[in-house]
Amino acid sequence: MKLRMLRCLRHSKTHTHDLEPATVAATATTAAEQIEQQCNDMQKKFQEPIKILLLGTAESGKTTIIKQMRILHINGYTNDERRDQLPEIYQNIHESIYQLVQHMSILGLEYQSCASRNSAAYIMSLGETAPEFMDEEYCDHVMTLWNDLGIRTCFGRSNEFPLLDSTKYFLDNFERISDYDYIPSTEDILHSRKVTTGIHKITFRVKIPKTLGGGEQEFRMYDVGGQRDQRNKWIQAFEGIQAVLFLISCGDFDQSLREDPLQNRLQEALNLFRGVWQNRFLASAGIIVFLNKQDIMERKIRTGTHIVDYFPEFEEFCNSPQAENYFDECDWTKKFIKQKLIDITQEPVKRPSRNKMDYSKRECYYHFTVATDTSCIRKVFNDVHQMILHEHMANVALL
């Protein structure tokens, strides 16, 4: 802080040898008053709550970020709150195994044994809703199916039908989860998913560095549904927003929308980002993009799924003269998706904001994330907070 004050003093310095002593004293007093006023303005800024809006398509990881903020800044979950997550986790497990069984016949796949066929018939007889309790019979059927080679083959083709990203995680951990005394772990809660409808808010406080005066700053983070039929509600949350966290699931490059099987999920996310970037009601908000689910993207590439099969321009991108030299396809894919976003920010704006903002000077910040990894989100959110502090200081001319 002292360095910034000195910098301000240097900028305000005049040639004192040409001035009368009284004038020199008056100039110094004015400079000191300006610094004091700037510091007061900055403190006022820090006292104002920061409003952040989470946007993105369905299943991009927005609600997981909300959960991470609770873990990092609101002391996580009590045991009673963890038990409240049981129905959601049970439903995720049942939906996963039900979808796999349902698509075995659709994909023309065969079960490994008669026992697996019997288990499949049992699961289908229950319908799409999970049982209230996981009894021994149900658990045996689920484990039989997950150990079946046919079901594993079906899972390997899950880009061909809607399936939760957490399917493998929950079914791999099913024996632990099916225990009578099971209490969901933090990781279990982060992997669970429930469709978001409406607008949800979480409020938390983050410490301000002592070099900036210390104290805490209040954050208000808003999560809105990403399905197409929920996006008309987004505008209700636009007022007073200082930053938008836009999430893109990079692991979705080979999947189609639940709402529209003909639309690629990643392409839908890119189209949606264009609308957010050019939205005149968000023109003054900072835009931060979380290129999420890097772990899923890398797993798919390692097992033989390639983005070029869904975005043919990827090959030209890799061969372009300005392209960097990467040895790993995962790095190329990350760079390609990020470049897609950068290209969108450089497109002409169709409906400029009323305050005649110069979009060419507007910045967009990019972070590669795994929303279920708490250490990753802690680091990234610290970077986001530093960016917001930087913007506040710039607004009061301390930078």
pLDDT at 39 over 60: no
Note the pLDDT of residue 350: 76
Q: Mind listing the pLDDT tens digit for each residue in 184-226?
A: 999 999 999 988 777 888 999 998 888 777 788 999 998 887 6
335 is an annotated ligand-binding site residue: no
91 is an annotated ligand-binding site residue: no
Between 242 and 232, the more confident residue is 242
Q: What is the CA angle 57-52-41, rounded to 5?
A: 160
Strands, sheet with 199-207, edge to edge from the N-terminal-most edge strand: 199-207, 216-224, 50-56, 243-249, 286-292, 364-368
193 Cβ neighbours under 8 A, 6+ residues apart:
59, 63, 88, 92, 164, 165, 166
Mean pLDDT of 16-31: 61
- The mean pLDDT of the chain is 86
226 is an annotated ligand-binding site residue: yes
116 is an annotated ligand-binding site residue: no
176 is an annotated ligand-binding site residue: no
Residue 84 confidence class, pLDDT cut points 50, 70, 90: very high
Give the integer Cα–Cα distance in Å for 298 and 328. Answer: 10
Q: Enter the tokens of residue 265.
A: 């999920």
103 is an annotated ligand-binding site residue: no
Note the pLDDT of residue 294: 96
262 is an annotated ligand-binding site residue: no
175 is an annotated ligand-binding site residue: no
56 is an annotated ligand-binding site residue: no
pLDDT at 171 over 90: yes
223 is an annotated ligand-binding site residue: yes
Residue 129: name the closest of 168, 163, 83, 97 by CA: 97
362 is an annotated ligand-binding site residue: no
Q: Mind listing the pLDDT tens digit for each residue in 295-338?
A: 999 999 999 999 999 999 999 998 887 666 667 899 999 999 99
Between 200 and 24, the more confident residue is 200
Note the pLDDT of residue 393: 66
Domains of the chain: 49-76+196-398 (3.40.50.300), 79-191 (1.10.400.10)
Q: Enter the tokens of residue 242.
A: 């200082």
224 is an annotated ligand-binding site residue: yes
Note the pLDDT of residue 81: 96
Note the pLDDT of residue 96: 98
Residue 11 confidence class, pLDDT cut points 50, 70, 90: very low
15 is an annotated ligand-binding site residue: no
Give the integer Cα–Cα distance in Å for 331 and 308. Answer: 14
294 is an annotated ligand-binding site residue: yes
249 is an annotated ligand-binding site residue: no
30 is an annotated ligand-binding site residue: no
Mean pLDDT of 162-168: 95
Neighbouring-strand partners of residue 366: 289
Note the pLDDT of residue 36: 63
Residue 288 confidence class, pLDDT cut points 50, 70, 90: very high
384 is an annotated ligand-binding site residue: no
165 is an annotated ligand-binding site residue: yes
φ, ψ for residue 360, nearest 5 deg: -65, -20
166 is an annotated ligand-binding site residue: yes
Note the pLDDT of residue 29: 67
% of the chain surpassing 70 pLDDT: 80
pLDDT at 230 over 90: no
Note the pLDDT of residue 320: 80
192 is an annotated ligand-binding site residue: yes
Q: Mind listing the pLDDT tens digit for each residue in 92-143?
A: 999 999 999 999 999 999 999 999 999 999 999 999 999 988 999 999 999 9
Note the pLDDT of residue 200: 84
Whether 278 contacts 350, CB under 8 Å: yes
Residue 41 confidence class, pLDDT cut points 50, 70, 90: low
Angle between helices 294-302 and 329-345 (to 10 degrees): 130
371 is an annotated ligand-binding site residue: yes
Residue with tokens 């007889």: 125
